[in-house]
Structure 1
Amino acid sequence: MLGAIIGDIVGSRFERNNIKTKEFDFLTCRCSITDDSIMSLAVAKAILDSDGDYNKLGDLAVKCMQEVGRPYPDCGYGGMFIRWMYADQPQPYNSFGNGAAMRVSACGFAASTIEEAKRLSKKVTEVSHNHPEGIKGAEATTVAIFLAKTGKNILEIRDYINDHYYPMNFTLDGIRDSYEFNGTCQGTVPQAIMSFLESTCFEDAIRNAISIGGDSDTLAAISGGIAEAYYGIPANIRKQAFRYLDERLMKILVDFENKYPPLFENQVAETLVEQECRLLFF
């Protein structure tokens, strides 16, 4: 889940100041967390608080998003969502905004089956973003994370997304010049997933997402969550990212990672070596 937060942090300074290159300083003093990180952690807390009883996950998602999110009113919430977050009895508002997809990474890491991944995603999404495209964007993101963490290769992940969610028939180079800011799931999630599919490592996935412009923090958050599940996060980047979280948010992250241990980059390398050995000797 930290991968989504890192993507958000790195992309934060480019959301309204797009660049069309992968060459930029990665984590700087101009970066910050935004609503993407805060809502990702809120969903993580809801999953933890459910303690395996996912029948109550929807209610807990509402509770946690309001409790975790309200202390940060200026972090970049959309107009409709901020009204939802401060409402006494918040109701879904038929949204297909990309906020549905940027907050669900914890679902992919917590799920034990692909069916459960889809169920968790729907539970935490439909409480606000109940439009079919909002449900779809969140599910595609969650499923991509689940497939990545369970050992599927990039081609297998691409084929699953292509067959069940969005056509993956474009390249980043092909859209970079014309791609513009888009706040919808259908205009963000495929591009974010492709940023991962064309990547060579965790950091490269985030650089890919930012390099096409658009809603940079959300693109990078979605891509970063998938990239973490596939590659792991380099230790130096993890350490730098912690500086952007206050004590309250850090506790949620630590609690979540204690229950769902993260994959570190060296573990990925060891796994790949083991796979290669099996191919060679068995």
Structure 2
Amino acid sequence: MDRYERILGGLFGVACGDALGGTLEFMSKDEIERKYGYLKDIIGGGCWDLEPGEVTDDTMMTIAVAEGILDNPENPIEDIGKHFIKRYDGKPKDIGNIIRIALGEYKRSSDWMKTACYAHQATGGMSAGNGSLMRCLPVALYYSDVEKMLEITALQSVLTHYDQKATDACQFYNLLVYQYLNDKPKIPPIREHIEKYPEYKQVFQLSKYQLKPTGYVFDTLICVLWCFINTSSFEDAVCEAANLGGDADTIAAITGEMAGVYYGYNAIPDRWKEKILIKDHLISIAQRIIKDNGKI
């Protein structure tokens, strides 16, 4: 599989997971079963009254990271921040509380050094949300140097999320994506890199019913890894993630990113890809990434 197909798979993966999971956001598994059975189609609606194929902040913040990197690959953090503010000013649907507080503080202070710390304090130290994890994919897609990739992954996280748990989750996740982008098999990279993040080892022992689909970054990444490990196709991984309910759009989006890189663009159901309203934008970003590929 060529690199472009994996990059495009990751970008469409986040959008498809987001659009599917957005319908089920904040619902319990029992509520989902009563209303939808097991949702496998992108139908819109839900608490955000989405159009079929419409995405939320999960995809739009991922695009913001990608565009910031493409604007200034050597030192992208300020540019990523500018795109965050542009998205924030556009009043996106479903903006996370930590990100909303952090970006509001930046609008007041114009100082990125203060934003994440302010949000951390304002939330009583509860800043280990999944908002920086959901958007970190483009860093792994762009940078061929793994150390540079890990550095930028961490820096984009601490723009809004002060807690080290959020940074650790982003770096662990992007290490895996980086491996799959470079044609590695599915499970060995997880077993290898999980040694650096031993709190996640429990994912191999958990049952589906022990998963907690919350906005806490640890719970989210456990759900993502479980859905990816315990399925054998892109569609099954993303459907499992979305139908957990809770923070369904984000968990399905993050699962879709990883599964999209691993399985590739052609493995994503056509009925999903065709519905994504911003598909041309995603294709353009993938083309720009592949054009720049290998420069850094």
Tell me, in whole angstroms, the C-alpha distance in 2 between the residues paired with 1:83 and 1:130. 12
- For 1:162 and 1:240, how far apart are their aligned partners in 2? 31
Q: 1:216 to 1:161 in 2, by over 3 A?
A: farther
CA displacement at 1:134 relative to structure 2: 1.0
**Which sections of structure 1, spanning at least 5 residues, go unmatched?**
263-282
Whichever residue aligns with residue 76 of structure 1, its letter is: D
* 1:261 to partner: Cα distance: 4.6
How many aligned residue pairs are there?
A: 254
1:259 paired to 2:288: yes
Preserved CA contact (<8 Å) 1:70 1:85: no
* Residue 254 to residue 155, structure 1, CA distance change in 2 (3 Å): closer
CA 1:83–1:195: 2 relative to 1, 3 Å: same
Distance 1:255 1:196 in 2: 27
**Structure 2 Cα separation of the partners of residues 179 and 190 of structure 1:** 7
SS at match of 1:234: helix
Counterparts of 2:268 and 2:241, CA distance in 1: 20
Deviates more, 1:99-108 or 1:188-197: 188-197
CA gap of 1:151–1:14, structure 2 versus 1, over 3 A, is same
The answer as to whether partners of 2:98 and 2:160 remain within 8 angstroms in 1 is no
1:19/1:205 CA distance change after superposition, 3 Å? same
Q: Which deviates more from structure 2 when the two are superposed, residues 92-101 or residues 35-44?
A: 92-101
State the alpha-carbon separation in 1 of the partners of residues 66 and 78 from structure 2: 14
**1:112–1:152 Cα change, 3 Å:** same
| Partner secondary structure for residue 76 of structure 1 | coil
Deviations 1:8-51, CA, capped at 9 Å, x for gaps: 1111111122337793232224353111111111111111111x
- Residue correspondence of structure 1 range 1-282 to structure 2 within 5 A: 1-19=11-29, 23-30=38-45, 31=52, 32-50=54-72, 52-53=73-74, 55=75, 57-73=76-92, 75-86=93-104, 87-88=106-107, 89=110, 90=112, 91-93=115-117, 94=120, 95-165=127-197, 166-170=199-203, 174-234=206-266, 237=269, 240-241=272-273, 243-246=275-278, 250-251=280-281, 253-261=282-290
Deviations 1:210-243 (A, max 9, x none): 2333311111111111111110123773674454
TM-superposed CA distance for 1:129, in Å, is 0.8
Highest RCO, 1 vs 2 (Cα 8 Å, sep ≥ 6):
2
> CA 1:236/1:36 → structure 2, altered by over 3 Å: closer, same or farther?
closer
Measured against aligned partners, the alpha-carbon deviations of 1:128-169 in whole angstroms (never above 9, x if no partner) come to 112100101111221121111111111212213421224333
Distance 2:91 2:271 in 1: 23
Would the alpha carbon gap of residues 208 and 181 (structure 1) be closer, same or farther in structure 2, given more than 3 Å must change? closer
In structure 2, runs of 5+ residues without a counterpart are 1-10, 46-51, 121-126, 292-296
Counterpart residue identity of residue 210, structure 1: A
What amino acid sits opposite 2:102 in the alignment?
W
- Residues 85 and 162 of structure 1, relative CA distance in 2, 3 Å threshold: same
Query: Aligned-pair RMSD on alpha carbons?
Result: 2.6
| Cα 1:96–1:238 shift into 2, 3 Å | farther
Residue of structure 2 in register with 1:269 after alignment: none
TM-score normalised to structure 2 length: 0.77
Where does structure 1 differ by over 6 angstroms across 4 or more consecutive aligned residues?
A: none
| Residues 36 and 103 in structure 1, CA contact (< 8 A), matched pair in contact too | yes
Offset from partner CA, 1:221-273 (integer Å, 9 cap, x none): 11111111110123773674454435xx843x2332112359xxxxxxxxxxx
SS in structure 1 of the partner of residue 101 of structure 2: helix
After superposition, the Cα gap between the structure-2 partners of 1:238 and 1:128, relative to the gap in structure 1 and judged at 3 Å, is farther
